Every structure is written in C-alpha cells, then in structure tokens.
Amino acid sequence: MASTPVDNKKLMRWYYAVNWGAMLLERHIADVEAANLNCAIHREHLASLEDLKQFLDTSWNVWMYECAKTMEEGK
C-alpha cells in the first residue's frame, strides 16, 4: 500500500475541522431522535469521526514531542 506524506502543520486544523463536524452531527442526531427517526447510520459516522479525532490528536502530540526533543538536542 502506498502512502502519502502528511504536512504535520495541518494536523491541528484537521482536528478542529473534524471536531466541528462531530459537534454538528451530534446536534443533528439529537434532532433526528427528537423526531423519533432512526439515526443508527449517523451514530456510525459519529464513531468514525471520533476515531479520526483521536488519530489526529495522537499524531499531533507525537509530532510536537519530536519537535520539542529536537529543540532540546539543538541547545
């Protein structure tokens, strides 16, 4: 499987975009439930967004740790 390099500087922007999407989806789920409609597919998508948020957050933290370590080594 081929991989594409990721610009780590974009990680936090992506995290906030995914977080915003998850918040909107949560609000939509509440509206759908209030209308007594099935929202199972929405919950599946929300779970995927939560997984993606966790991945982006972890990736950001690892990158920041590596940056801090490199700065310390450069002193």
Q: How far apart are CA 31 and CA 17, in angstroms?
A: 21
Per the structure block, which two tokens stand in for 34?
Answer: 């209030």
pTM: 0.80
- Distance, in Å, from the CA atom of 37 to the CA atom of 32, rounded to the nearest integer, reads 5
For the stretch 15-71, pLDDT in tens is 999 999 999 999 999 999 999 999 999 999 999 999 999 999 999 999 888 888 877
Q: From 46, 51, 49, 53, select the one nearest 13 (Cα to Cα).
A: 53
52 near 18, Cβ under 8 Å? yes
Q: Where are the domains of the chain?
A: 20-55
